[in-house]
Amino acid sequence: MKWILRIFLAALFLVIMAAAAAWYAFPRYAQTLLDRAFETENIRIKVYDSGLPNVSGISFGRLEVIFHTPPDSCTDRSASYTFVAHNGSLSWKRSQTDDPATHAQLIPNKLKLEVGLQADSLTITQHTGELFFREDTPSLYASLTINRKKGFTFEPLPESLRYSIEKGTLIVNKLRLDGISYKFNIDSKGNWLQKTAPLRVASLQSGNETVPLSDFSALFGLDKDPKNPCGLTFKECSVNLFDLRAETPRIDYDPIQQQTSFILDLKSMPLEKLPGFKNRKKEQPFATGQLSGSIPVELKDSILSIRDATIRASSNTQLLYYSAEKAPFLSIKAGKDNRPSDLFNNMNATFTLNGGNESASGVALESFSAGFFGGTLKSGPEVYNPIQKSRSYRFSLENVHLPEKMHLHGDFSASLLGTVNGTVPITFKAGTFSIDSARLSSKGKGFIVHAPPRKKKSAQEQIFGDPVPDATYAYNEPELIIFRDTKGKTTVDFTLKRLTRQTSGGTLELLSPKGTIALWHIRNNPSLVSLSGFSAGFMEGSVAIESVDYDIAKRNAETELILNDIPLQKLLDLQGMKKIYATGNIRGTIPVIMKEGVVAIPAGNLDAAQTGKIVYTTTEEERLEANESLRLTYEALSNFLYSELLSSISMSPDGQSLIRLQLKGVNPSFQEGRAIHINLNIRQNLLDLLRSLTIATNLEETISEKALEKTFINEN
């Protein structure tokens, strides 16, 4: 959300104008100063380390001029300034427009001179400390006429002054303007008023922070407007906002009331050029589309206000996220129905400029609110940390329809519904940002469909189903807690009311799943995603994962599933065994290893949490056809009360599995209730089993002689 706040800073370019006014208003006093140029109470000149003068000039180490500006018709305040030039020279020569007849006079009655000042540096300081100006290698030129009155009494008459600022720096309070260029050209014929000329400021700093504004330009002069004789007018104003041009045709600033108002126009701002949205890989743009709009701005005293502003997004405006294969997998589209739409509307904000508090930043946000994606986005006052040089904001979202703007690509599609509510605390520092415990929630739900690419189905796949069927994931009422540090490490604590996975073979449901996901926490491996503290209700019991690291690029992972209180009957139903009835719950751990997307189980162990019953029903025909050993197993399992149930499971990457089952218990109606110990070794392909569950319902999986590699009944 960093780019959202920075849009508002576009309005701060008026600060450039306000600060510059303090310096550029000086020509208003030019006539008075020139009239009293040699009156010691207004101007005092000191020269240090001067060289030997010659017919064309004199050098100096330091030239110091202290002058005072009296109150004028617009203000009753006077001001004092010190002008200092270092390591410079004063040069003079007769003007080419001088009357040639005067050249022959030993002591001419009128002499026109061109005077120049060059120096290594020039500074102008206001004695109250509010203003400081500096330029390196300045050049100033003036022309004047010297009239002789009587004898050796002379009267200087200034005619013009020219000063072309190239790379000036102006500091007003906490504001610093760098790269100032402006051409002063005032003369007696124009009543010593600066005519309109191009003004440019390369960059602006507030306090010690660079404001994301640059290359401010305008037409500025001191021609008096009869309707506003004390005001300052800037015309054809424009500024680069993150290298994007923002414009306004005119700004009228009242320096007495310190107020102005104007509308800032944002035209065709490419989203991909904004900080936080840039991507060096041109083939993988992080953001596309353009922003436009208008921002009404008001400035009074030190309060900057934005009222009812609108920011619009073009139809193709979106954020893009890419998979490890460099293909888009998620986009957030701001446009609607292939038409431009409002990204922010009824946007209002208040900033404080130069509060004078040393612990505050130069520009501080006081309040912000806007309509955003059908809901509202708000922020309270900015918190500035002068030690960390950071700014913190607390955004609140209410009924924002963000999920509806999210789209999945590639093998995935989605339908996401609902609104988002919550708070997002963000801190900006040194060009980075962090998020501390953002809390977002939604009462909505969503569906995500995974449809892998399909080849032409074989006859076996047409009968037994696809090896990887389409899967639909549905979630309800997500709640998120998000943390992000300045290096990009992000953790998300999540909780869902329900998460289901549905295929043509059935539905797998997790109740109240929760856990923590870590993203971008390994600098050398940004594709590594970590899940920790995961737990969920599963088959009336629970499943948990302490931790797992999944490499998205390599599709590698290794973890351990922890099962607890899973009803044995649920596991049998999952296997399609309809002739077995069982009571009791199962617990245990199943290690899982994934390499390049292929899953293997090295050695899992399960056992019964308590005693229970197993009833295996058979028909008379099955008992007659069975051999003696299998018939004894059928009889023992017809009403088996187990006191111990142990199982181990392993599966190779091709799906071949071995399940070892140990049962201890009794059957009251079998051999007078003698103790029975049964060992079952079941070999099957679990992947084929999962596919077989998609066959028509008339196909049953039963315990058969082929499935039993070996059966033992031990009588104690």
Q: How many CB atoms lie within 10 A of CB 328?
A: 16
Nearest one of 321, 318, 322 to 332, comparing CA atoms: 318
Stronger pLDDT, 375 or 629, i.e. the higher one: 375
Q: Is residue 595 included in any domain, yes or no?
A: yes
| pLDDT surpassing 70 at residue 39 | no
Residue 478: which region, alpha, beta or left (left: phi > 0; alpha: psi -120 to 50)? beta
CB 419 within 8 A of CB 401: yes
Percent of the chain with pLDDT over 90: 25
> What is the chain's mean pLDDT, rounded?
78
- The whole-number pLDDT of residue 98 equals 58
- The whole-number pLDDT of residue 164 equals 92
- Can you give the pTM of this predicted structure? 0.72
The residue behind tokens 């083939």 is: 283
Stronger pLDDT, 129 or 572, i.e. the higher one: 572
Cα–Cα distance, 461 to 452 (Å, whole number): 15
3-state SS, residue 571: helix
| pLDDT surpassing 80 at residue 500 | yes
DSSP 609: S
Q: Is residue 627 included in any domain, yes or no?
A: yes
3-state helix, strand, coil in the chain (%, to 5): 10, 60, 30
- The whole-number pLDDT of residue 151 equals 60
Q: Is residue 329 included in any domain, yes or no?
A: no
For residue 634 the two structure tokens come to 């059928």
Q: Is residue 62 included in any domain, yes or no?
A: yes
Mean pLDDT of 219-233: 78
Mean pLDDT of 428-438: 86
pLDDT level of residue 439 (50, 70, 90 thresholds): very high
DSSP 281: -
Q: Which of 5-9, 18-22, 537-541 has the weakest average pLDDT?
A: 5-9
| Domain boundary, last residue among 197, 229, 263 | 197
- At a CB cut-off of 8 Å and minimum separation 6, what does 696 contact? none
Encode pLDDT of 280-333 as tens digits: 666 667 778 888 888 898 888 778 888 999 988 888 888 887 766 677 778 888
What are phi and psi for residue 685, nearest 5 degrees?
-100, 110
Cα–Cα distance, 393 to 381 (Å, whole number): 7
| pLDDT surpassing 80 at residue 266 | yes
| pLDDT surpassing 70 at residue 716 | no
- At a CB cut-off of 8 Å and minimum separation 6, what does 265 contact? 246, 247, 248, 294
- The whole-number pLDDT of residue 56 equals 80
Q: Which of 175-189, 243-257, 345-359 has the weakest average pLDDT?
A: 345-359
Cα–Cα distance, 440 to 480 (Å, whole number): 5
- The domain total for the chain is 2
| pLDDT surpassing 50 at residue 4 | no
Cα–Cα distance, 226 to 217 (Å, whole number): 25
CB 557 within 8 A of CB 594: yes
3-state SS, residue 700: coil
Q: Is residue 177 included in any domain, yes or no?
A: yes
Mean pLDDT of 377-403: 89
Output the CA–CA distances (angstroms, integers) from residue 616 to 23, 362, 550, in the order listed.
98, 80, 41
DSSP 191: T
| pLDDT surpassing 70 at residue 32 | no
pLDDT level of residue 432 (50, 70, 90 thresholds): confident
Residue 671: which region, alpha, beta or left (left: phi > 0; alpha: psi -120 to 50)? left
Stronger pLDDT, 23 or 688, i.e. the higher one: 688
The residue behind tokens 């409002």 is: 342
- The whole-number pLDDT of residue 573 equals 75
Encode pLDDT of 72-112 as tens digits: 667 677 778 898 999 999 888 877 655 565 555 555 677 78
Q: For strands 375-379 and 341-353, give the pairing.
A: unpaired
Q: H or E element: which one contains 620?
A: helix 620-625
CB 640 within 8 A of CB 676: yes
What are phi and psi for residue 16, nearest 5 degrees?
-55, -50
Could you list the residue range(s) of the whole structural domain that residue 43 is in?
A: 2-197
- The whole-number pLDDT of residue 531 equals 93
The gap from C-alpha 211 to its chain's centroid, in whole angstroms, comes to 17
- The whole-number pLDDT of residue 99 equals 59
Q: Is residue 150 included in any domain, yes or no?
A: yes
Stronger pLDDT, 363 or 406, i.e. the higher one: 406
CB 91 within 8 A of CB 57: yes
Mean pLDDT of 187-197: 84
Q: 60 pairs with which residues across the strands?
A: 88
Stronger pLDDT, 460 or 630, i.e. the higher one: 630
Q: Is residue 585 included in any domain, yes or no?
A: yes
Percent of the chain with pLDDT over 70: 77
- At a CB cut-off of 8 Å and minimum separation 6, what does 76 contact? none
In degrees to the nearest 10, what's the CA dihedral of 517, 520, 523, 529? 50
Cα–Cα distance, 700 to 619 (Å, whole number): 15
Mean pLDDT of 37-58: 71
| Domain boundary, last residue among 140, 175, 197 | 197
Q: Is residue 312 included in any domain, yes or no?
A: no
**Cα-trace Rg, the chain:** 41
| Domain boundary, last residue among 132, 163, 197 | 197
| pLDDT surpassing 60 at residue 458 | no
For residue 392 the two structure tokens come to 């913190």
